Amino acid sequence: MKAPLIVVGLVLALGPFALTSQSLVNFAMLTVVSAFLGQCWNIAGGFGGLTSFGHTIFFGTGAYTAAILQTRWGLNPWLALPAALVTGSLVGAAIGAAAFRAGLRGSYFALVTLAFAEVFRVLSNSLDFTRGGLGINIPLGMGAGNFQFADRRSTYAVALAFLVLATAAAAWLKRARFGARLAALRENEDAAAALGVNLVRTKTIALALSGGLTALGGVLYAQTYLYVDPAISFGVERSVEMLLVAMIGGAGTVWGPILGAIVLHIIADVSRSWIDTPGFAPMLYGVVLLVIIGLLPRGIIGIWERWRA
């Protein structure tokens, strides 16, 4: 069973390097970025059951980390990757520690993350440090040494590396003791706590891990589009997309978010050829989400699981 999966994976992963069509490369890049962000959400939301409605907090933190390191302190943008890993995890740890200590879970956790995202949006929109609503332009300086790629295939390669990293983290969660503790908390908090699982610490670490990885996506965004602003960084749409990718593919599974991202981006591309308005594709996403929750609570990957069983 593993061999065909690896072959399919390799074709999907390496195929775009052979492509010359810009639109196909772009499609592949956006899909891989989406799969990566969905996988990051999945680490907290799927494996840990921490249904976040504000995951863009970490994405935006990473994007601003990259922009500020370069424009204020003149550092090389590659340094933004370790820096964003740190800032993203710290924000995750802080929000996690506050929320889980207060005993927030389920819908309440979802709402508090939404509120934190709004706090971040308002702050980045108001502070001089982040240049307020103007956003931050990153000076143009194409070159691999400067983490700016003229060729989207290079961006794709970086995104793919991130996706591999996040998927490795998900696969690790599936096997490691830490993942087992997390799953125990997700399935039955009281029972897990009675067995000696440290609730606050376990969940906080999961959110910090997810936050650090998500922040890498923000760095890649900043280096690709060379501009960050409060709405791009902390708008609710990105949080929802991350959740949709994971939920539709299959939350709490290793391959679900990748499948989810492929399905959503095919829907987006096909629907754009029918009706090309900004809301049409997201509307279909919402419909797919409702269908999935109703019929396939384990996500699209559940079809595969059921077929194998």
Partner 1 sequence: MAEIYAAALINGLLIGGVYALVALGLTLIYGVLHIVNFAHGSLLMVAMFAAWLMAEKAGVHPYAALPVVALAMFALGWLLYRYVIGRVSRGEDRAILLATLGVAVVLDNVFLTLFGGDTRQIESDLTFAVIEAGPLLLSVPKVIAFAVSLLLAGALWAFMALTDTGRAIRAVAKEPEGARLMGIRPERIFALAYGIGIGCLGAAGCLLLPSFFVSPHVGNVFVLVAFTIVVLGGMGSFPGAVVGGLLIGVTESLGGLWLGESLGPIGISLVFIAVLLFRPTGLFGAAR
Minimal distance, residue 92 CB to partner 1, in Å: 16
Q: Is 290 in the site for partner 1 (CB under 8 A)?
A: yes
Backbone CA torsion sign across 291, 295, 301, 303: negative
Spatial distance between the Cα atoms of 301 and 286, rounded to a whole number of angstroms: 18
On the CB side of 209, how many CA atoms lie within 13 Å of its CA? Answer: 25
Minimal distance, residue 177 CB to partner 1, in Å: 25
Structure tokens at 191: 């029972």
Minimal distance, residue 11 CB to partner 1, in Å: 32
Minimal distance, residue 76 CB to partner 1, in Å: 32
Spatial distance between the Cα atoms of 32 and 47, rounded to a whole number of angstroms: 20
Q: Is 286 in the site for partner 1 (CB under 8 A)?
A: yes
Number of residues that bind partner 1 (CB under 8 A): 45
Spatial distance between the Cα atoms of 307 and 300, rounded to a whole number of angstroms: 12
Q: Is 247 in the site for partner 1 (CB under 8 A)?
A: yes
Region binding partner 1 by CB under 8 A among candidate stretches 13-21, 124-132, 155-163, 191-199: 124-132
Spatial distance between the Cα atoms of 103 and 94, rounded to a whole number of angstroms: 14
Region binding partner 1 by CB under 8 A among candidate stretches 46-54, 66-74, 136-144, 210-218: 46-54
Q: Is 108 in the site for partner 1 (CB under 8 A)?
A: yes
Spatial distance between the Cα atoms of 142 and 162, rounded to a whole number of angstroms: 21
Q: What is the DSSP letter of 139?
A: P
Region binding partner 1 by CB under 8 A among candidate stretches 79-87, 189-197, 257-265, 275-283: 275-283
Structure tokens at 172: 């690790």
Spatial distance between the Cα atoms of 60 and 68, rounded to a whole number of angstroms: 12
Q: Please, are residues 203 and 186 in contact by the beta-carbon 8 Å criterion?
A: no
Minimal distance, residue 306 CB to partner 1, in Å: 18
Q: What is the DSSP letter of 225?
A: H
CB atoms within 10 A of CB 126: 12
Q: Is 110 in the site for partner 1 (CB under 8 A)?
A: yes
Binding mask 167-206 for partner 1 (x = CB under 8 A): ----------------------------------------
Where on the chain is the footprint of partner 1 (CB under 8 A)? Answer: 49, 51, 53, 98-99, 102-104, 106-108, 110-112, 114-116, 118-119, 122-123, 125-126, 132-133, 236, 240, 243-244, 247, 275, 277-280, 282-283, 285-287, 289-290, 293-294, 297
